[in-house]
Amino acid sequence: MDVIVRTVVKGIFPFVLLLGFSIIFHGHLTPGGSFPGGAVVASGFALVVVAFGVGKAEKLISERTVHIMESAVALMMALLILYESFLRKYVGLTGQMFNIWSSPEVLSLNVAGGVMVLSALILIVFLMVNE
């Protein structure tokens, strides 16, 4: 890709990541949550793949790391859901409005779901490019 695209992607990539993670973190206060946040972060990586090729993207985050991240987050999400359904009657944490650290359950589910969505989408991009 030529100079203009490479320069713009180099400048814009950290802000795309920041926007994505902000949408994930504020999922219990503003619209968004795990799905749109994960999709925005993964599209940032797709921009790097398009502008620089797969080699540069592999240096940022390798395919093996994405596999491990996805499996670990899936396990964590399963444990969270088991905790919610069984132990909630005994150990319950209530939340207050407008406070970002108020309800840890919704926050942790949003973060886990967001990481799972972004790792799945990055995996799809890598698998399609590697033919």
* Beta strands, E only, the chain: none
Shortest Å, Cβ 35 to other proteins: 5
- Eight-state DSSP code of residue 87: G
**8-22: b or e for each residue (b if 16 or more CB lie within 10 Å)?**
ebeeebeebeeebbe
Direct distance between the N- and C-terminal alpha carbons of the chain, in angstroms, rounded to an integer:
20
Which part of the chain contacts other proteins (CB under 8 A), choosing from 5-13, 30-38, 47-55, 58-66?
Answer: 30-38
Question: 12 or 124, CB closer to other proteins?
Answer: 124
Q: Which is nearer to other proteins, 26 or 58 (CB)?
A: 26
Chain contacts with other proteins (rule: CB under 8 A): 30-31, 33, 35-36, 39, 71, 74, 78, 97-98, 124, 128, 131
